Structure 1
Amino acid sequence: MRVMKWSMIALAVSAGTSQFAIASSQDEAKGFIEDQSLTAKTRLQYMNRDYKNGAGNSSSGTAGYRQDTGLSELINYTSGFTQGTIGVGVDAMVMGSVKLDGGSGHRGNGLFANDSDGNPEKTQSKSGAAVKFRLSDTTLKYGQQFVASPVFATDDSRLLPEVATGTLITSKEIKNLELSAGRFTSLSKQTGMGRDSIGGLSDENGFGGKGLTNINIFGASYAFTDNFTGAVAASDADDYFKKQYINLNYTLPINEDQSLNFDFNGYNTKGEKRGDLVDAIGDGTTGVDNKLWSLAAAYSLGAHKFTVAHQRSSGDNGYYYGVDGNGTIFVANSIQISDFVGRDERSWQARYDLNMKTYGVPGLSFMTRYVMGDNIKTNGLGEGKENEWNLESKYVFQDGPAKDLSMRLRFANYRSNGAYSGYSSDNYDTRLIIEYPLTIL
């Protein structure tokens, strides 16, 4: 599921009508040491999936539930750029996790890897670094890094984030226009310490667990006005598929306390028909071609926000992602458990958000949403249907010694009919996430 959001744009922009910045970022470089930063983020996460209707825990072979608790630390060092025409800098990361609770009988939530005996690892750690160069307002970065492109996005929904290895160029030479291009050669999953540990798409999706070889990505985002932005992006993942993405985001201010926002996201995936792909619906289809789009409308009224969304998937199969990062799904109905991206699936969402700052409790917020999906093609079992209800509360300390410490409680109730039960068994998903970000330098 997706945890991040671009608000990005169409490439068809005339550079001649754009304004160039008077002073570039490199002109204002303060120096390697002078502009450095060091941050640490501590995360405590508890996760419990309680399966219903006698469903088994496929990861451990036991019926019932999966439960894990762990603590992680992520330290990020970012240097400034040296002064001169071309600035040089370095970024580095060190991260590790410790298992606090979770035996082999209840493993499987993705917080820890398993050792050779099939038991969750007690501790894990990894590190990485990247060198960066900047010319004017264009930056090139090579090495281990986090990526947030809608066609290649590293996931950070568990204790440790995914880490990509490769090259990314980002250019902001033209006002309001950002261009990016990159090539990545490996991706480590959240519980994997090796660079090539992502393992590709799952075996059940027909890719045999093969890992990432190379992926090339391109993106462009443009702010047409303060209230209207858009983006396009594309990727080519060797031996898997090619993807194109588009986003349009428009906010209509009504008055000081009211606004209306529209957000459109769309993907087009093209892949080779291959003999090792699973025939997902039993009709001889072995391709991954898919079209996926969503449109969300959100009405904000003071402390309240009401959102409705519609999403559709069509093609040879459902929407596939994972080898290109487990965060690569920027659509409205990708939520806590399901993404609602089955073959020919149609889904609808209703959501309500409340910000308690208006009522004298800054930092406290609530959210609830319900998504229902139907029309899913299955392997001869009839129409697949699924639904999910989410409830979430979050509090961020506003001042004092615990300033910026956040506590987030998430709950999900997922159900699917018999025709679609192979996607995910009925379950209750409960998560407690406590995070404390600290700026050291």
Structure 2
Amino acid sequence: MNLVKLSCLALAISAASTQLALAGDQQESKGFVEDSSLNLLNRNLYINRDFRNGASNSQGTNRAKPADERNGYREEWAQGLHAQFASGYTQGTVGVGVDAHAFGGIKLDSGRGRTGTGLLPISNNKTADAEVPDSYGEVGGALKARLSSTELKWGELRTGAPVFATADSRLLPETATGLHLSSGDISGLSLEAGHFTAYNFRDSTNSDDNLHTNYSDTDVRTLDFVGGSYGITDDLSVMLYTSEAEDHWYQHYANANYHIGLAEDQSLNFDFNVYRTDSTGEELAGEVSNTTWSLAAAYKIGAHKFTLAHQQVNGDTPFDYVGGDSIFLANAVQISDFNAPGMKSLQARYDLDLATFGVPGLTFMTRYVTGQGSEDAGDYSVDGDNFAGGGDSTYGGYNNAKWHELDVDVKYVLQDGPAKDLSFRARAATYRGNSEASNDYSDINEFRLIVDYPLSIL
């Protein structure tokens, strides 16, 4: 039994023992039906990704065409619905319940040569027979049990751990299949552990897809993790996690966040994140020895917030991860993660909350990130022969890669009335790099428009 599984067992025993001393959430249970909830989210999402300086779309039917006949952009528009039901727990020392979800998407505009944004599935992708369906959907659920404030869930789940987090950045959210244990029995301390065996990606309806690495492009049989967060004071918190991607790597994560109040409307915040990744077992992603960290400092005065961040990758491979959002680093932004071998990157960011100026619900953000890979990160062949994943892997050819990204984000949320919480969000990004950066992305202009309307039914 490996370290992560032993840690999960220890977490279960610890959580169960604390129940004897603390009155937890289960003691407040009103019942399976009485505590049930049903929430709907209507999402309308448009994405346009324009490839610049001679680059082209490689998805859909484009791969079957000569390079000079391929579309130079991706453009899709779709409507989605998320329905999520969560039962309450039955009363008693141990309560049981169920969670269920139904997600559906409708194509409003797409095309066999314009697809590839991640909004919609593609059948027979990268062939002349590629098709984008008019609609798609999925249903799933999980069983759950609760003892005091310790919960165990089994089924299709959404996760948010720094070493394994599902994403919700397109039309439908991702889910993962497995076991998840969480405990809040100790005041100020949140613990969780998980064992996962399958994944449902953002543009898929298959709940039994393989877990997959984002950069080495390999399948992962199982992923286990354990960790938690602790609030030392109201202003200082820490997180610590460890995980194992079977036959790939052990990955460890730590975070410290410190808030300093300076005056009534002024404050400082420091946020530090670090990952350590070491290959193990069959090393299906190649030999990995990587330490990646970021440090962000933010100064807030009234409606304004100014942030500077530094991020650094120490190792001959990119920082790699499993799960769409499993990268809690300051410079992982809209298009790029700035995670090339040996890369050092800097970010300058500005946030504005216009509630101070009489427009509550309206926010603005812009940031600029620039980075450069190491000039001696390793003698990789462009086709990635040194690593699993081959030519489609982004492990090759990063020496002296340089790129930068500029993002602008504007969001407005209705504050009251019959459409309360309806939100409109526009996101624009510009990405540019040198020839070596093409292993990350080609030059891109991207625009996204997202309209979300949440409804609480129960």
Residue number in structure 1 paired with 2:139:
127
Residue number in structure 2 paired with 1:371:
369
Residue number in structure 2 paired with 1:171:
183
* Structure 1 residue 406 corresponds to structure 2 residue 423: yes
* Structure 1 residue 49 corresponds to structure 2 residue 49: yes
Residue number in structure 1 paired with 2:74:
66
CA–CA distance in 1 between the matches of 2:103 and 2:451? 17
Distance 1:327 1:417, change over 3 A: same
Helix, strand or coil for the counterpart of 1:105? coil
Residue number in structure 2 paired with 1:219:
227
| 1:154 Cα deviation from its structure 2 partner | 0.4
Q: 1:98 aligns with which of 102, 106, 116?
A: 106
CA–CA distance in 2 between the matches of 1:49 and 1:288? 32
| 1:397 Cα deviation from its structure 2 partner | 0.5
Aligned amino acid, residue 205 of structure 1? S
The Cα offsets for residues 337-395 of structure 1, whole Å up to 9 and x where unpaired, read as 00000000000000000000000000000000000001344746751101000011000
Residue number in structure 2 paired with 1:77:
85
| 1:198 Cα deviation from its structure 2 partner | 4.8
> Is the CA contact 1:372–1:388 (under 8 Å) kept in the aligned structure 2?
yes
Helix, strand or coil for the counterpart of 2:113? helix
> Is the CA contact 2:294–2:329 (under 8 Å) kept in the aligned structure 1?
yes
Residue number in structure 1 paired with 2:389:
none
Helix, strand or coil for the counterpart of 1:357? helix
Count how many residue pairs are aligned between Structure 1 and Structure 2.
413
Q: 1:390 aligns with which of 387, 390, 407?
A: 407
CA–CA distance in 1 between the matches of 2:281 and 2:403? 28
| 1:274 Cα deviation from its structure 2 partner | 6.2
Helix, strand or coil for the counterpart of 1:26? helix
Residue number in structure 2 paired with 1:354:
352
CA–CA distance in 2 between the matches of 1:231 and 1:407? 33
| 1:256 Cα deviation from its structure 2 partner | 1.5
CA–CA distance in 1 between the matches of 2:213 and 2:319? 12
Return the structure number with greater helix share.
2
> Is the CA contact 2:398–2:439 (under 8 Å) kept in the aligned structure 1?
no
The Cα offsets for residues 42-98 of structure 1, whole Å up to 9 and x where unpaired, read as 111000011111102111341411001011100000111111111111111011101
Aligned amino acid, residue 53 of structure 1? N
Distance 1:64 1:301, change over 3 A: same
Distance 1:296 1:275, change over 3 A: closer
Unaligned runs of 5+ in 1: 1-10, 278-285
* Structure 1 residue 239 corresponds to structure 2 residue 233: no
Equivalent runs, 1:263-342 vs 2, <5 Å: 263-272=271-280, 286-321=286-321, 324-342=322-340
Helix, strand or coil for the counterpart of 1:331? coil
CA–CA distance in 1 between the matches of 2:225 and 2:181? 10
CA–CA distance in 2 between the matches of 1:29 and 1:206? 44
* Structure 1 residue 88 corresponds to structure 2 residue 96: yes
Q: 1:417 aligns with which of 409, 415, 434?
A: 434
> Is the CA contact 1:274–1:287 (under 8 Å) kept in the aligned structure 2?
no
Aligned amino acid, residue 200 of structure 2? S
Aligned amino acid, residue 308 of structure 1? L
Equivalent runs, 1:144-163 vs 2, <5 Å: 144-163=156-175
The Cα offsets for residues 207-235 of structure 1, whole Å up to 9 and x where unpaired, read as 2xx3x321111012100001110100111
Aligned amino acid, residue 34 of structure 2? E
Distance 1:416 1:273, change over 3 A: farther
The Cα offsets for residues 147-187 of structure 1, whole Å up to 9 and x where unpaired, read as 00001100110001111111111111111011111111111
CA–CA distance in 1 between the matches of 2:50 and 2:25? 51
Aligned amino acid, residue 440 of structure 2? Y
Aligned amino acid, residue 109 of structure 1? T
CA–CA distance in 1 between the matches of 2:217 and 2:166? 22
> Is the CA contact 1:19–1:174 (under 8 Å) kept in the aligned structure 2?
no
Q: Which deviates more from structure 2 when the two are superposed, residues 338-347 or residues 192-201?
A: 192-201
Residue number in structure 1 paired with 2:236:
228
CA–CA distance in 1 between the matches of 2:264 and 2:372? 39
Aligned amino acid, residue 206 of structure 2? G
Residue number in structure 2 paired with 1:205:
216
> Is the CA contact 1:26–1:87 (under 8 Å) kept in the aligned structure 2?
yes
> Is the CA contact 2:174–2:201 (under 8 Å) kept in the aligned structure 1?
yes
Residue number in structure 2 paired with 1:262:
270
Distance 1:199 1:151, change over 3 A: closer
CA–CA distance in 2 between the matches of 1:47 and 1:406? 17
Distance 1:274 1:387, change over 3 A: farther
Higher relative contact order, structure no. (Cα contacts within 8 Å, ≥ 6 residues apart): 1
Aligned amino acid, residue 343 of structure 2? E
